[in-house]
């Protein structure tokens, strides 16, 4: 089981450097792009800069698009797909985690995307494991 996206598994984190494209715009990490997706495209430029933590804090202060709660998992899935492309270093590393359960363990209270204090839905871990399965089938089928 991989229960924290830190240390040798930091590359699994949305904060890890990995260029991703959202609506034709390049962002330095999944976190930057995810937070940008919360708002109207005309308001997204500030999310292209700074640290992932700064992007996350900015995302907590924006006027969120009305459908955010309905689309946030699909947005994250799309960004994970773009980060972990077939036959790339990150895609291959994800496949190399084998059958390990991937848990986004955290101490900041995120019980939707991860697990905190043994409680949480672990939606990020689930999306990563789904992507790994897809990539594995591409490689071996």
| Residue 138 confidence (pLDDT) | 86
The model carries a pTM of 0.94
pLDDT computed for residue 99 by the predictor:
96
The confidence score (pLDDT) of residue 80 equals: 98
> Per-10-residue mean pLDDT for the chain, 141 residues long?
96 98 97 98 96 97 96 98 96 97 95 96 98 88 54
What is the widest separation between alpha-carbon atoms in the chain? 45
Domains belonging to the chain, first-starting first, are 7-140 (1.10.357.40)
21: exposed, middle or buried (C-beta count within 10 Å: 0-12, 13-18, 19+)?
Answer: exposed
Pairing of strands 20-22, 25-27: antiparallel
Q: Where are the alpha helices (DSSP H) in 15-122?
A: 30-36, 52-59, 68-83, 89-95
Judge whether 94 and 84 are in contact, CB under 8 Å: yes
């Amino acid at each position: 089981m991989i229960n924290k996206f830190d240390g040798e598994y930091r590359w699994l984190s949305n904060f890890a450097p990995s260029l991703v494209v959202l609506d034709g715009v390049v962002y330095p990490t999944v976190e930057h792009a995810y937070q940008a997706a919360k708002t109207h495209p005309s308001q997204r430029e500030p999310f292209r800069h700074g640290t992932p933590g700064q992007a996350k804090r900015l995302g907590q202060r924006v006027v969120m698009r009305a459908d955010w709660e309905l689309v946030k998992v699909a947005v994250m899935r799309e960004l994970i797909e773009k980060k972990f492309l077939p036959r790339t270093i990150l895609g291959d590393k994800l496949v190399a985690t084998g059958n390990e359960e991937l848990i986004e363990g955290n101490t900041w209270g995120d019980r939707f995307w991860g697990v905190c204090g043994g409680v949480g839905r672990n939606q990020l871990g689930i999306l990563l494991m789904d992507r790994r399965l897809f990539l594995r089938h591409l490689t071996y089928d």
